Structure 1
Amino acid sequence: MPSNVEIKAKVSDTTQFAEKAAQLSQSEATIIRQHDTFFNCSQGRLKLRDFMNGSGQLIFYERPDTDGPKLSRYSISPTNDPTSLRTVLSDALGVKGEVKKERRLFLIGQTRVHLDTVEGLGDYMELEVVMRPQQTVEEGQQVAEDLMVQLGVSKESLVTGAYMDLLLKGREETQG
């Protein structure tokens, strides 16, 4: 199963972050709109990512809910009919929740740098260090931590869990 090391953090100045990321990647961002539907499942997370253009991906992944760099193992299956797949999975498993975001993607070395504006949450950045064969988790974590420093991401801004978790937590706090 492929894996990556991930870090997620809140971003207070998106313009400054985007400028640093563009400098490091030596390119402008690719803008991607995504509508993720998370389904109930017994282990890990299962989501359908709809790119809002008739294509999508069914993604299963497992990772610990801790702040800082963490290893994520995943498998992905492309789909050309995310709408009907969402219907089938919703009927079979039930929907845990949905995340809608606009993602600006920068590629820096082996790392996918995302600057995300998440509906209902705000602005975040996510680093995904795509692990190479025989590369250790520690090496991947070091790549992520070095990039955090270069991008000006503080340890205080790190967050745990997925956007789905943050949205569900926010909903519980407003209802509680």
Structure 2
Amino acid sequence: MQRTLEEMPSNVEIKAAVRNLQLLTQRAKELSKSTGTLIRQHDTFFNVQKGRLKLRNLMDGTGQLIFYERPDVDGPKLSNYSISLTGDPDGLTRVLSDALGVKGSVKKERSLYLVGQTRVHVDTVEGLGHFMELEVVMREGQTAEEGEAIAQQLMEDLGVKKEDLIVGAYMDLLLTDKKG
């Protein structure tokens, strides 16, 4: 049974390059009133006809199979997604690799800070550098515009500039680097 986009969970997302990691991290700690949570992730992206499909290995014997669709534009963008948990990320990666082929992989260390309904990620991505990602987890009945307003305000509070915004996923940036 396929769900419509309206039935899928969604978030409003912003991704940006980080110029001053120490300053951004300090502001994230202050806004979240926490020291954050360190998460190591290895995402394997698979070839699919629409959207993106990745298996996130959480490097602790667990993982998440994540399908998502979002436009490739800078600034706030609405992302619809589905997630399934797995206790065998390595085995599932092998099966999906055999079935679909691998588009590429992303290894990152992520510090997670929770600010209201927003997940603030401060990421160090292998082969790319430092980035910040905001995910405003949409509540039932909330409009995309409300989520975008929350993201814009938080971007300002964190000192992220519009010229630092990036389009697409880390996978896209890695693939572009390999071509160039």
Aligned to 1:2: 9
Partner secondary structure for residue 172 of structure 2: helix
The corresponding residue for 1:104 is 111
Partner of 1:136: 143
Shift of 1:98: 0.2
> In the aligned structure 2, how far is the partner of 1:7 from the partner of 1:109?
16
Q: CA RMSD in A?
A: 0.3
Q: Which of 129, 133, 151 is matched with 1:122 structurally?
A: 129
Alignment match of 2:158 (pick from 127, 148, 151): 151
Q: CA deviation at 1:58?
A: 0.1
CA distance in 2, matches of 1:62, 1:19: 31
1:52 to 59, 73, 84: 59
Distance in 2 between the 1:5 and 1:129 partners?
Answer: 5
Residue 39 of structure 2 is aligned to residue 27 of structure 1: no
Instruction: Report whether the alignment pairs 1:41 with 2:48.
Output: yes
Displacement of 1:12 in angstroms is: 1.2
* Aligned partner of residue 155 in structure 2, secondary structure: helix
1:29 Cα shift?
Answer: 1.0
Q: Any unmatched runs of 5+ in structure 1?
A: none
AA aligned to 1:123 is H
C-alpha distance in 2, partners of 1:67/1:121?
Answer: 18
Could you list the runs of 5+ residues in structure 2 that have no partner in the other structure? Answer: 1-7
User: What residue identity is the alignment partner of 1:169?
Assistant: T
Amino acid aligned to 2:78:
L
Supply the AA of the counterpart residue of 1:9: A
Query: Partners in 2 of 1:6 and 1:90 — Cα distance?
Result: 27
Matched residue SS, 1:42: coil
The alignment covers a number of residue pairs equal to: 173
Deviation at 1:166, TM superposition (A): 0.3
CA deviations over 1:109-138 (Å, ceiling 9, x no partner) = 000000000000000000000000000000
In the alignment, does 2:88 pair up with 1:89?
no
Runs ≥4 residues deviating over 6 A: none
TM-score by length of 1: 0.98
The one-letter code of the counterpart of 2:142 is: Q
Give the drift of 1:87.
0.2
Equivalent AA in structure 1 for residue 70 of structure 2:
R
Taking every aligned residue pair, what percent have the same amino acid on both sides?
A: 67
